[in-house]
A and B are shown apart, each in its own frame.
Chain A
Amino acid sequence: MKTLIRQSIRTGITYGIVQIFFILIAFNTMVGIMLAKISGIKNPGEIPAAKFLIAYTILMGLWVGISALSKKKFLPAGHKLLAGFTAGLVSAILVGLLELAMTGILVNKIFIRDFLTVLSFDFIKATLFGLTPVLGIVVTMGAIVLGSLLAVGLNIVTNLNAVQEHWKKDLSFLKNLNDKFQRMIRGKYHLIWQIVGISILAVAVIFIPMKWGSYWNYVFGTVGLYVILGLGLNIIVGLSGQLVLGYIAFFAIGAYTMALLNAPEPHNLMWGFWPALLLGVLLAALSGILLGLPIMRLRGDYLAIVTLGFGEIIRILLKSDVLTDFTGGPRGIQNIQGPMLFGKPFNSEVDFVYLIIAGVLLASFVYNRLQQSRTGRAWLAIREDETVARASGVDTIKYKLLALAIGAAFAGLAGGIYASRNQFTGPDEHALMASINVLSLIIVGGMGNIPGTILGAFTLKGLPEILREFANFRLLAFGALLVFMMLSRPEGLIPSHRPKYDEPNEVSGEMKKKEVPHDQ
């Protein structure tokens, strides 16, 4: 009983602090605006109507209640009520204290926006639902408690816990689907399935981009480019197990090769798209080898920080005045020519989507073949244990360099297409954040497999485009998501299928399944 109350108070304090944080970054008005839009109001303005803010507060209370009751499936109803109510009350008191302070600011007309930027007088009034301060605070606290009680009610009636605790199972559904899919295309009727699958995919790929507007094609193209990047980084990180943080530098090399050879501004070379793309890919691969040669002996973390340094070096060089005559300096390069194919110029987003899809297919094909080959197995061996791999006759340096070169070549390909599509490239597009984005997408999706990479690209690049309203909160949520993912599901949304070694059990003679230890 005492521990129950103590736990609930702790939950209440945690979520109270989270709610205070949400109010201080104006998340409440944001959600209020979203709710207003959902309910059909076209222009809710900067600050939504009070009823939506009350709805937000109740939702927050619901969240507190659900969290307070998680993992408490077998408690009697009375205890559940007590736990939910305590947690709700504690967080309500914390939020109430914040609003009391905000009331003080409002009444004394203190200008505090220099310190906390969202706390304008209008915002404070809106947070108090436009009521008098005392009434506003009471309504807020009431709404939170009401929400938590609602959670308790839901919990008792529908056994919400079951839903919450099964989310992991729901996610492993994705993995099962993937496994089933793999079995289907490798199994008995693989030829039929492959033909059917490819024809469905081909029809979808040919006709969908025509239907979409240019905005959706742009988003889809971006996702596709990130799939290529993700596959390339997957070869380096997922297959051969080398953590590279400056991956975007190779992307920059591809993009700048395309830009320098195909734009009128600094040099007016005008080689055309295809030779420039090829050269970009080759140069990226070469720079991968050149970067790899001196640092091959480094441990994981050091490799990460050195490659991070390499990425920054490339960006700073591109941005500095030293190379302005050669690379256009901080302004970047404009008017990059698009590709020509059979005399037809690429000038709409749709054409580029086809080009990107072709790139994705090529990259997936190369990735898949490499993964299945002797090279892929050598990479896996290096990832699992470099010393053992070496002892078994794998030339580790050669294969690690190969992984870097091929991964870099993928990035060069994506970079060339990207520069040509946007008709512009500049140093700030190749900042460290972009490398981290690519790394995050393969980790969120599931390291080392193609469906995971595609899912990750859609989640991290497609979803934020759809949730444009959340623009300010996007990166915040992204950071929180990364931490949350690592805490709850470090193997990604679609975990890789790992080869298992069936070891005969000496006593009973049965085959015993043994997990290969996951260690990088």
Chain B
Amino acid sequence: MNDPSSLPLTPKGNNNLQTNTNTAAKKLQAFQNSKFMKLLRPILGVVVSLYIVFRLYQVLVVHQEYGADTWTRLLISGLIIGGVYSLIAIGYTLVYGILFMINFAHGEVMMFGAYAGLYSFWAFKIIPIAGDPPTNFLNAYPILAIILAFLIGMTVSATMGFFLEKIAYRPLRKAPRLVPLISAIGASIFLQNAAMLLFSPQLRDVTNPDILRRGAGWTIVINGSNVILPYTGVFTFILSILLLVGLYILVRKSKLGRAMRATALDKKTAALMGVDVDSTISRTFIISGALAGAAGVMWGIHNGLVYYFVGFIPGIKAFTAAVLGGIGNLPGAMVGGLLLGIVESMGPAALGIDFQLKDVLSFLILIFVLTFRPSGLLGEVLSEEKV
């Protein structure tokens, strides 16, 4: 080890003979290897697609286990959860596009947003408003309360994102890539446990305003049975689409968006062109944090349960969604999130497997996308230097 000449990288004259025989054997081996590898992927792909088609045929044509009403129900829940995934995935994709790091603590930023929303609603419920009958702030001015809750949640998460970057990532910007990832993992563990110690490990119920009661909704009759289109779900979906469109316009049209794109493309050149790279990165974290905060509040409103581990699984799923759509690609993250939500909710039924395995399904999708189309469905948008 101490002797550099023992490294295979440094050629030495008297080794030539040995190397020649070695290369011949190796060439043969490499040939076999490469052919094997080349064949393996298509074969795997064909087998998997055949199996999927077979299962679909079994479930949809032979057994006809579920009617149109069930499919609609699944589609609705998939779209709702997909909207939330998209919002979180945007955060991953923005950060990955600029810093080439997986912001592992992004799920925890969302979790703090969810807590902020939960506590805002609780606090609004305590504030009494006189009247006949006496009511509270939450139900007297529900729209104002919801807007305030979202603002508080987004502010809390944006602040967290800002400080996260400043403390845990900024000093490591020039470090090898493993280092910021470990730092992010550490930050994630820290934030989870900080939330556990501050807010207790209990599962908390979110108190929605009466107009957004969970479970209530418009009823549609499909195939003779009632399908409920929940108010919370519609609200969540519309709001997430609005936020996504807003973000897209921000990135495409505004000056900050241009700075962000320039920084993502090439930091050095961007700096030479007068872009303040540090503040652009800070703002990216603020924006992605705010979106994660909104996603957290939505999660609370729609799912109703908030606890310190709530951000972890959605975080990983959202990263999957970002990869699925092509990392660094904003429309990709949106499409990927919605697609992942739909697959996750309809997939188990369509393939006739247990609903407990929906997470397995999303991770399998991740593995297959990365194996067959590593750049994602819509193609990744990354600068040349690290790809």
What's the minimum C-beta distance from B248 to chain A, rounded to whole angstroms? 24
Q: Given A115-B122, A117-B200, A395-B33, do A295 and B190 touch, yes or no (CB 8 Å)?
A: no
What's the minimum C-beta distance from B104 to chain A, rounded to whole angstroms? 9
B252 interface hit (Cβ, 8 Å):
no
Of A21, A116, A312, A497, which one neighbours B363 at CB under 8 angstroms? Answer: A312
Chain A residue numbers with a CB within 8 Å of B357 are: 316-317, 320, 322
What's the minimum C-beta distance from B283 to chain A, rounded to whole angstroms? 22
| Complex CA distance for A399 and B192, rounded to whole angstroms | 37
Let me know if A398 and B33 touch, CB within 8 A.
yes
B213 interface hit (Cβ, 8 Å):
no
Query: Would you give the 0/1 interface string for A282-322, flagging 1 where the beta carbon is closer than 8 Å to chain B?
Result: 00000000000111111111101110111011001101111
Chain A residue numbers with a CB within 8 Å of B19 are: 393
Of B44, B100, B171, B193, which one neighbours A475 at CB under 8 angstroms? Answer: B193
Let me know if A497 and B1 touch, CB within 8 A.
yes
Q: Given A24-B198, A499-B7, do A397 and B33 touch, yes or no (CB 8 Å)?
A: yes
For A312, give the chain B residue with the smallest CB separation.
B363
Query: Would you give the 0/1 interface string for B173-210, flagging 1 where the beta carbon is closer than 8 Å to chain A?
Result: 00111111111011111111110011110000000000
Of B4, B30, B180, B356, which one neighbours A501 at CB under 8 angstroms? Answer: B4
| Complex CA distance for A501 and B200, rounded to whole angstroms | 54
| Complex CA distance for A500 and B5, rounded to whole angstroms | 11
For B30, give the chain A residue with the smallest CB separation.
A395
Chain B residue numbers with a CB within 8 Å of A478 are: 186, 189
For A476, give the chain B residue with the smallest CB separation.
B193
State the A residues within 8 Å of B (CB).
21, 24-26, 114-118, 237, 243, 293-302, 304-306, 308-310, 312-313, 316-317, 319-322, 371-372, 374, 377-378, 380-381, 388-389, 392-395, 397-398, 436, 439-440, 443, 472-473, 475-476, 478-487, 490, 497, 499-502, 518-520
Most chain-A Cβ atoms within 10 A of its Cβ — which of B1, B4, B30, B316?
A: B1
Let me know if A479 and B188 touch, CB within 8 A.
yes
Let me know if A490 and B199 touch, CB within 8 A.
no
Let me know if A302 and B186 touch, CB within 8 A.
no
Let me know if B363 and A482 touch, CB within 8 A.
no
Q: Given A115-B199, A302-B374, do A483 and B175 touch, yes or no (CB 8 Å)?
A: no
Let me know if B7 and A381 touch, CB within 8 A.
yes
What's the minimum C-beta distance from A499 to chain B, rounded to whole angstroms? 6
Chain B residue numbers with a CB within 8 Å of A501 are: 4
Q: Given A482-B182, A486-B186, A520-B176, do A393 and B8 touch, yes or no (CB 8 Å)?
A: yes
A sample of 23 inter-chain contacts (CB < 8 A) reads A116-B198, A295-B367, A295-B371, A301-B102, A305-B319, A310-B363, A310-B367, A312-B316, A313-B363, A316-B360, A388-B9, A394-B8, A440-B186, A479-B188, A479-B189, A479-B190, A482-B185, A485-B182, A486-B175, A490-B179, A499-B4, A519-B176, A520-B177
Chain B residue numbers with a CB within 8 Å of A304 are: 102, 181
What's the minimum C-beta distance from B206 to chain A, rounded to whole angstroms? 13
B354 interface hit (Cβ, 8 Å):
yes
Let me know if B354 and A306 touch, CB within 8 A.
no
Of A116, A298, A381, A485, which one neighbours B370 at CB under 8 angstroms? Answer: A298
| Complex CA distance for A118 and B198, rounded to whole angstroms | 7
A-B interface, 9 closest residue pairs, ranked by CB to CB distance from nearest: A482-B186, A479-B190, A479-B189, A117-B200, A309-B363, A25-B197, A486-B183, A476-B193, A483-B186
Let me know if B190 and A483 touch, CB within 8 A.
yes
B23 interface hit (Cβ, 8 Å):
yes
Q: A436-B189, A480-B186, A482-B182 given. 5 additional CB < 8 A pairs?
A: A24-B198, A26-B197, A299-B387, A392-B8, A475-B189
Chain B residue numbers with a CB within 8 Å of A309 are: 316, 320, 363-364, 366-367
Chain B residue numbers with a CB within 8 Å of A313 are: 359-360, 363-364
Most chain-B Cβ atoms within 10 A of its Cβ — which of A24, A319, A393, A478?
A: A393
Chain B residue numbers with a CB within 8 Å of A473 are: 193, 197
